[in-house]
Chains A and B, each alone.
Chain A
Amino acid sequence: MSSAEHRTDLTRRELLQGTSALGLGAVLVPTAAWAQKPTVKLAFIGPLTGGTASNGLGGRNSFLLAVQERNADPKTRYTYETEVLDDECKPTVAVQAALKATSDPAIVAGVTHYCSVTAIATVDTYHKAGMPAMVWGAVLPEITYSHKYVEVTRVNGTMINQNNVAADFAVKTLGFKTFALVHDTTDYGRAHAKWFGEFLEKAGGKILSTQGTAKDQKDYTAELTRAKADKPEVIWYGGLTPDGVRVKVQMDKLGVRAQFQGTSGIKSDTFNETAGPSSEGTLAFVEGAPTEKLPGGRRFLEAYAKAAFKEPSEAYGPFAYVAANLVIDAIEAMGPDRAKVAERLKRTRNPNTIIGPVEFDEYGQNTVSLISKYVSQDGKWVLWEDSEYASGKRTLPGHKFKKM
């Protein structure tokens, strides 16, 4: 018990050093205590600027947290340095970042990409350079399923499983029949709409309309009015938080009497904070076990809070944290050799990470990814099974409208 406490203490001090150094963007400098250990470099790539920065910064912080914790652990064989690179959520910039990481022989592996468009663009770069890269946030199926590169693995699930669960749940468990789909026209929204639509029809749901909207669109009056005319039971939105907030708030303003269902992109604290009372009863689905329910997950959340990062970890922070830990595990076992680490990573079999068990298939895709169902209740995301909606104490907006 006391040793555990001692460890947290050390972690915390390291974290404070780390975060203050981060302000200047400095690379973490190992202190004398473990200076004699050989040094290994890890790369993190994600969007640190622009519209999706909040997710990228949350992922980066979680990644740094993992590295700092492992550095503080006297049992590790190596000291880990980090190279954090911004991909701006743009493919060209991502390729440059990936090239920079792979060009540095000191970098053994990377935890890479939140935006699907950047992850798919860089797959070949990692393969050519032979550098293992573990995707921590991008959900497009093709990132793993379009090739069999040993270098590329992904800890988070694809949108295929997510939408399978989401469609079945909406139709079979909740009993909704008619859906109006709205999605952003990025590959995230488009592919989500495609998969959700397919699974919806299989489950017996009916799509009344499908509309694509530009990312960062402000006004959804036209789309919502059009969708409203068909009187759908559910308005489904495939896209990210800022746009999801606007869709939901404007639904209420226009008096669209339907259930609102989103994807992993809106499962953020920001959604509830920004949409305010409008968020109540919104559904969202995320890959991975609920972090706050697992013992390790709770420790992660506490450590993250203690580290006093400027930004919250967001929905995919835990994935970046797990990816960093898996990569470090592989390096500890195999030594700083890219090929051996890649080989080892692909054979990962870890039954208890903070996102649940992790195991990769022949494509490097984490197969045992659980899908968690969430509902927004009193301004918080609550696991469906624990919510007052499931227990019957409250009624989902969609069910209320149905009765009237």
Chain B
Amino acid sequence: MALPLTFAASILVTGLVGVAAERVCVKPLARASPLMTLLATLSLGLVIRESVLIFYPRGADPKPFPQLLPQGGFEVGGVAIRYESLVILGIGLAAMVAVDRVINRTKMGAAIRAVAQEPEAAQMMGVNLDRTVDATFFLGSGLAAVAGILSGLYYSEIHFIMGITGGVIGFSAAAIGGLGNVYGAIVGGLLFGVLQTTAAALIPRGSEFRDVVAFAVVMLFLVFKPSGILGEKSVERV
């Protein structure tokens, strides 16, 4: 039972690191152009990655990840389904439902949505801006930690550069699905994965060009259906 406890601690710590990152390099730049925030957070990502490389014992190497999920599986019509895939799918869905609940059913969620729409008006209505932004970063970073742990459980190994494309693909997925819609991220993520895999499986030499196909579709979506598959309620979005 020690392992799930460690996971919980890791999610908590990552959430807090997220809050710290926000305090250090997002909030001070709130008034500057969003590009600065982008550059600052990407640079911070570099710092964190290189810190793992240098300060974690033998951080340059990939690390084995403990196995926790049931191994084995069954076959349905020639398709091998593994128990652990089902568990991961379940945890992912549960996390999304939980986030949806938090965003749409709680007071904090209402505050988050209000701040997203209009920070100043939200403060007029008594929303504590700092605490709300903290909460968002805690939630977002904690979820990223969940994703990292699930990835480790599935692939049985982790590496310090494992998150490098995850950020771009994650954002792409959210954008295809529709930013602002929790379930959009699921739909988008699924679509991105299906595109990559189909390209690799069906096109000759497809595995070399799978990301080209996936990113091209992302571009088309962003241009011709910027609100994503599930759409976002507000019209103006910058």
Interaction A to B: yes
Asked whether A223 lies within 8 Å of B155 as measured between CB atoms, the reply is no
Q: How far is the CB of A19 from chain B (nearest CB, A)?
A: 14
> Nearest residue in A to B50 (C-beta to C-beta)?
A49
Contacting residues, chain B, for A270 (C-beta < 8 A): 61-62
| A241: Cβ under 8 A from any B Cβ | yes
| B161: Cβ under 8 A from any A Cβ | yes
| B232: Cβ under 8 A from any A Cβ | no
Asked whether A50 lies within 8 Å of B58 as measured between CB atoms, the reply is no
Asked whether B80 lies within 8 Å of A212 as measured between CB atoms, the reply is no
| B197: Cβ under 8 A from any A Cβ | yes
Cα distance A49–B53 in the bound complex, in angstroms? 8
Cα distance A33–B22 in the bound complex, in angstroms? 53
| B149: Cβ under 8 A from any A Cβ | no
| B118: Cβ under 8 A from any A Cβ | no
Question: CB within 8 A of A312: which of B58, B156, B201, B205?
Answer: B58
Instruction: Categorize the interface residue count of chain A.
Output: 35 or more
Asked whether B164 lies within 8 Å of A216 as measured between CB atoms, the reply is yes
> Nearest residue in A to B200 (C-beta to C-beta)?
A222
| A311: Cβ under 8 A from any B Cβ | yes
Contacting residues, chain A, for B197 (C-beta < 8 A): 219, 221-222
Contacting residues, chain A, for B200 (C-beta < 8 A): 211, 222-223, 226
Question: CB within 8 A of A50: which of B151, B161, B198, B211?
Answer: B161
Q: How far is the CB of B43 from chain A (nearest CB, A)?
A: 15
Cα distance A62–B61 in the bound complex, in angstroms? 17
Asked whether B155 lies within 8 Å of A249 as measured between CB atoms, the reply is yes
A223-252 vs B, CB cutoff 8 Å, 1 = contact: the mask equals 101100000000000000110011001100
| B113: Cβ under 8 A from any A Cβ | no
Q: How far is the CB of B107 from chain A (nearest CB, A)?
A: 38
| B172: Cβ under 8 A from any A Cβ | no
Asked whether B205 lies within 8 Å of A212 as measured between CB atoms, the reply is yes
| B208: Cβ under 8 A from any A Cβ | yes
Within A242-280, the residues touching B (CB, 8 Å) are 242, 245-246, 249-250, 253-255, 268, 270, 273-276, 278
Asked whether A274 lies within 8 Å of B207 as measured between CB atoms, the reply is no
| A394: Cβ under 8 A from any B Cβ | no
Contacting residues, chain A, for B201 (C-beta < 8 A): 222, 225-226
| B162: Cβ under 8 A from any A Cβ | yes
Contacting residues, chain B, for A276 (C-beta < 8 A): 64, 156
Asked whether A214 lies within 8 Å of B211 as measured between CB atoms, the reply is yes
A345-366 vs B, CB cutoff 8 Å, 1 = contact: the mask equals 0000000000000000000000
Given contacts A221-B197, A223-B200, contact A274 B64 (CB under 8 A): yes
| A57: Cβ under 8 A from any B Cβ | yes
> Nearest residue in A to B197 (C-beta to C-beta)?
A222
Within B180-238, the residues touching A (CB, 8 Å) are 196-198, 200-201, 205, 207-208, 210-211
| B101: Cβ under 8 A from any A Cβ | no
B40-66 vs A, CB cutoff 8 Å, 1 = contact: the mask equals 000000000010010001101111100
Question: CB within 8 A of A311: which of B58, B63, B207?
Answer: B58
> Nearest residue in B to A253 (C-beta to C-beta)?
B82
Cα distance A359–B208 in the bound complex, in angstroms? 39
Contacting residues, chain B, for A57 (C-beta < 8 A): 60
Q: How far is the CB of A260 from chain B (nearest CB, A)?
A: 15
> Nearest residue in A to B159 (C-beta to C-beta)?
A242
Q: How far is the CB of B192 from chain A (nearest CB, A)?
A: 12
Interface residues of A (CB under 8 A from B): 49-51, 53-54, 57, 185, 211-214, 216, 218-219, 221-223, 225-226, 241-242, 245-246, 249-250, 253-255, 268, 270, 273-276, 278, 310-312
**14 intermolecular pairs with C-beta atoms under 8 Å apart:** A53-B60, A54-B58, A57-B60, A211-B207, A212-B205, A212-B208, A214-B208, A225-B201, A226-B201, A226-B207, A242-B157, A255-B80, A273-B64, A275-B64
Interface residues of B (CB under 8 A from A): 50, 53, 57-58, 60-64, 80, 82, 151, 155-157, 159, 161-162, 164-165, 196-198, 200-201, 205, 207-208, 210-211
User: Nearest 3 pairs between A and B by C-beta?
Assistant: A222-B200, A54-B60, A212-B208
